[in-house]
Amino acid sequence: MVSLEAKVGAFVLAGLVCIASAIFLLGDYTFERRYTIYATFHDVANLSKDAPVKLAGVDIGKVTGLELEDHHAKVILKIRHGVDIYKDSEFEIGSTGIIGSKYLQIDQGDPSSGIIAPGTTVKGVDPVSIEKSLNQTLAKLDGLLDDMTKKGPRGSLADNLRDTVANVREMTANLNDLIATTKPRMEKAMDRTDDITKKLDDLLAKSNQTMAALATDQGTVGALLHDKKMKEDVKETIASVKDAAATAKNVFGRINQFHLYWNYDWRYDSFARTSHSDAGMKIVPRGHHYYYVGASNVANLNDQPRGRQPDYSQPNRVDALLGFNYGAWDWAFGSIRSAGGARMTYTPFVGDPFWGRFSVTAQAYDFGRNRIIAGKRFDKPDYDAGLIARVNKYVRIGGRVEDIQETARYMTWANIMFEDKDAAYLFGLATFGAAGTKGRSKK
């Protein structure tokens, strides 16, 4: 028979085993062999203890502690034994999204530089916060606008923008000359159109009287058209005249309903250290819908990347979209960077003088993507999301994360858009001519 002391001892031993197991599991202890590396930063950007350490996107350890040493943040890293990190590797703080959790990212260096020994202290690359990035963007934009008013070094972005605006002005001047040359003739044509419209109105009024007389079979006209067949022929003729008059009024009214905007986007990829330019034309014929055509990632194919990571953006793509604008929502569907997709912009506080300047934007396209770019395979759709702030009537700034599922690149963004009323007038005239051709073809 087991003694009481043996039972008590077994119970105490079992309790100690349970307590030790709980301490081991809750304390995240592991039998895996790890070695320590220290990394210093000026600012750890809310990096927390137990955050993962990643190499080429794979977890190889974790952050076990954060200390303040000589006014610098010292991060203690535990790396899995057997994972070699080279001396010229870069240590930086990454994020799973704009407001996602933080982790420590290691960009592997060259094996010829040697392996970092355990206990070594390395210097990390300080992260750039979204607030600082926006402030830097605003400062660069101010400098850009200032530089556009004076002569700068050739080849700069400001000079390119100034040359682009000069070309647009020259094209607008040529259009103005064309309009000035054709304006007298167009004014005569419009005067004749007004005269024709007035005569059509008189004809419609008289036709109504005629139709009333025909309906009653009274008076001279009724007597002349006593024959039923002749009466029906006259009715059909007058109905055709009324339809033609209504069509003419509609066509003339559409000439002044066109709006045309020139659009330019500039995006900067801080990882690849390169910029991308988009240019296009937004046509608003009338109502709540519009058309957008343009080019994305306009670049010279001979340009080489300058950053520490490749530039995965494909140059010289085509945009062609049909859009709809209803209050706070703006939807567009069609071709985005030469691939089918959709784009959405939402302004939650539309109408507010201050908060109405801020919008959220997202787009998805290239759903069947399956290609290799710069040595990396891309087989997931491209999803982009970001924020926009309207500075004034012509300029907007913001930032967005592009290709979230594949490379998650943060882009600083600036946009310039202005209306060209002269070109819109020409589009209205083109619509007038197309409507006239269509009318003649029906004959």
Confirm whether 16 is domain-assigned.
Answer: no
Tokens read off for 184: 């007298």
Residues 6+ apart with CB under 8 A from 262: 168, 279, 280, 281, 417, 418, 420
Confirm whether 399 is domain-assigned.
Answer: yes
Q: Final residue of a domain: which of 127, 149, 171?
A: 127
Q: Final residue of a domain: which of 110, 127, 144?
A: 127
Domain count, the chain: 3
Residue 202's CB is within 10 A of a number of other CB atoms, namely 10
Residue with tokens 């012509």: 394
Query: Do 113 and 146 fall within a single domain?
Result: no
Query: Do 420 and 276 fall within a single domain?
Result: yes
Query: Do 144 and 121 fall within a single domain?
Result: no
Q: Rounded distance, CA 356 to CA 354, Å?
A: 5
Query: Do 300 and 268 fall within a single domain?
Result: yes
Query: Using an 8 Å Cβ cutoff, are 37 and 85 in contact?
Result: yes
Q: Which amino acid is at 22?
A: A
Query: Do 213 and 117 fall within a single domain?
Result: no
Confirm whether 11 is domain-assigned.
Answer: no
Q: Final residue of a domain: which of 202, 222, 256?
A: 256
Q: Which domain holds residue 203?
A: 129-256
Confirm whether 103 is domain-assigned.
Answer: yes
Query: Do 36 and 134 fall within a single domain?
Result: no
Q: Is the pTM of this model over 0.75?
A: no
Query: Do 263 and 411 fall within a single domain?
Result: yes
Query: Do 171 and 142 fall within a single domain?
Result: yes
Query: Do 72 and 201 fall within a single domain?
Result: no
Measured torsion, CA atoms of residues 191, 197, 201, 206, in degrees rounded to the nearest 10: 90
Residue 180 main-chain phi, psi, to 5 deg: -65, -35
What is the pLDDT tens value at each position of the chain, 443 positions in all? 667 777 777 777 878 877 766 665 555 555 678 899 999 998 887 888 888 999 888 888 999 999 888 888 999 999 988 889 998 999 998 887 666 788 999 998 899 989 999 989 999 888 766 667 777 777 777 776 676 566 555 446 556 767 777 888 888 888 888 878 877 777 777 777 778 888 888 888 887 777 776 666 555 555 555 666 766 777 788 888 777 767 666 666 566 677 889 999 998 887 778 888 999 999 988 778 899 999 998 876 666 666 667 788 888 899 999 999 988 999 999 999 999 999 999 999 998 999 999 999 999 999 999 998 888 899 999 999 999 999 998 999 999 999 999 888 888 989 999 888 877 777 666 665 555 555 444 44
Query: Do 147 and 284 fall within a single domain?
Result: no
